[in-house]
Structure 1
Amino acid sequence: MKTAIAGGGVGGLALALGLIQRGVDVAVYEQAPEFGQVGADVNLTPNSTRALDGLHTEVGATLRTTGARPRRRLSRRWDSGEVTSDLPMGDSAEERYGAPQLTVHRASLLDALRVLLPDDVLHLGHRLDHVENLDDRVRLHFSSGQPPVEADVLVGADGIHSVVRDSLFGEQDAEYTGLVAYRTVVPGSRLPGVPNLDSFTKWWGPDSERQLVTFPLNRGQDLFVFATAGEEEWTAESWTTTANATEFREQYADFHPEVAEILGACDQVMKSALRVRDPMPRWSDNRVTLLGDACHPMTPFMAQGAGQAIEDAVVLCRALTEGSDVSVPARLRAYEEARHERTARIQLTSRANDWLKSGDEADWLYDYDAWNVPLALPTTERSQQ
Structure 2
Amino acid sequence: MKTAIVGGGVGGLALAVGLVQRGVDVVVYEQAPQFGQVGADVNLTPNSTRALDGLHAELGARLRETGARPQRRLSRRWDTGEVTSDLPMGDTAEEQYGAPQLTVHRATLLDALRELLPEGVLQLGHRVERIEQSADAVRVHFGGDRPAVDVDVLVGADGIHSVVRDTLFGPQDAEYTGIVAYRAVVPNDRLAGVGNLDSFTKWWGPDTGRQLVTFPLNRGEDLFVFATVGQPEWVAESWTTTADAAEFRGQYADFHPEVGTILGACDQVMKSALRVRDPMPRWSEGRVTLLGDACHPMTPFMAQGAGQAIEDAVVLCRALTGDDLPVDERLLAYEDARRERTGRIQLTSRANDWLKSGDQADWLYGYDAWTVPLGGSTRRENGVAG
Question: 1:377 Cα deviation (Å)?
Answer: 6.5
Helix, strand or coil at the partner of 1:239: coil
Helix, strand or coil at the partner of 2:54: helix
Retained in 1: the 8 A contact 2:30–2:126? yes
Retained in 2: the 8 A contact 1:237–1:274? no
Identity %: 80
Residue in structure 1 matched with residue 369 of structure 2 by the alignment: 370
Residue in structure 2 matched with residue 2 of structure 1 by the alignment: 2
Residue in structure 2 matched with residue 112 of structure 1 by the alignment: 112
Corresponding position: 1:333 with 2:348 = no
Q: Tell me how large the CA RMSD over aligned residues is.
A: 1.0
> 1:57 corresponds to which letter in structure 2?
A
After TM superposition, the runs of 4+ consecutive aligned structure 1 residues lying more than 6 A away are: none
Residue in structure 2 matched with residue 44 of structure 1 by the alignment: 44
Measure the CA separation in 1 of the matches of 2:192 and 2:269.
21
Helix, strand or coil at the partner of 1:197: coil
- Report the TM-score, using the length of structure 1 for normalisation: 0.97
Residue in structure 1 matched with residue 297 of structure 2 by the alignment: 297
> 1:212 corresponds to which letter in structure 2?
L
Tell me the alpha carbon deviations over residues 199-228 of structure 1, each in whole angstroms, 9 at most, x when there is no partner: 000000000000000000011100000000
Residue in structure 1 matched with residue 344 of structure 2 by the alignment: 345
Helix, strand or coil at the partner of 1:220: coil
Tell me the alpha carbon deviations over residues 36-65 of structure 1, each in whole angstroms, 9 at most, x when there is no partner: 101231100000000000000211111111
Residue in structure 1 matched with residue 186 of structure 2 by the alignment: 186
Quickly say closer, same or farther: Cα 1:319–1:159, change in 2 above 3 A: same
> 1:53 corresponds to which letter in structure 2?
D
Corresponding position: 1:360 with 2:354 = no
Measure the CA separation in 2 of the matches of 1:210 and 1:94.
31
Helix, strand or coil at the partner of 1:4: strand
> Unaligned regions of 5+ residues in structure 2, if any?
381-386
Question: 1:193 Cα deviation (Å)?
Answer: 1.4
Helix, strand or coil at the partner of 1:232: coil
Measure the CA separation in 1 of the matches of 2:136 and 2:93.
46
Alignment of 1:163-182 (within 5 A): 163-182=163-182
Residue in structure 1 matched with residue 130 of structure 2 by the alignment: 130
Retained in 1: the 8 A contact 2:78–2:255? yes
Retained in 1: the 8 A contact 2:335–2:375? no
> 1:160 corresponds to which letter in structure 2?
I
Helix, strand or coil at the partner of 2:154: strand
Alignment of 1:170-249 (within 5 A): 170-249=170-249
Helix, strand or coil at the partner of 1:73: strand
> Unaligned regions of 5+ residues in structure 1, if any?
none
Retained in 1: the 8 A contact 2:13–2:113? yes
Tell me the alpha carbon deviations over residues 2-21 of structure 1, each in whole angstroms, 9 at most, x when there is no partner: 00000000000000000011
Quickly say closer, same or farther: Cα 1:377–1:20, change in 2 above 3 A: farther
Measure the CA separation in 2 of the matches of 1:150 and 1:46.
37
For these two proteins, the number of residue pairs brought into alignment is: 378
Residue in structure 1 matched with residue 12 of structure 2 by the alignment: 12
Measure the CA separation in 2 of the matches of 1:253 and 1:234.
22
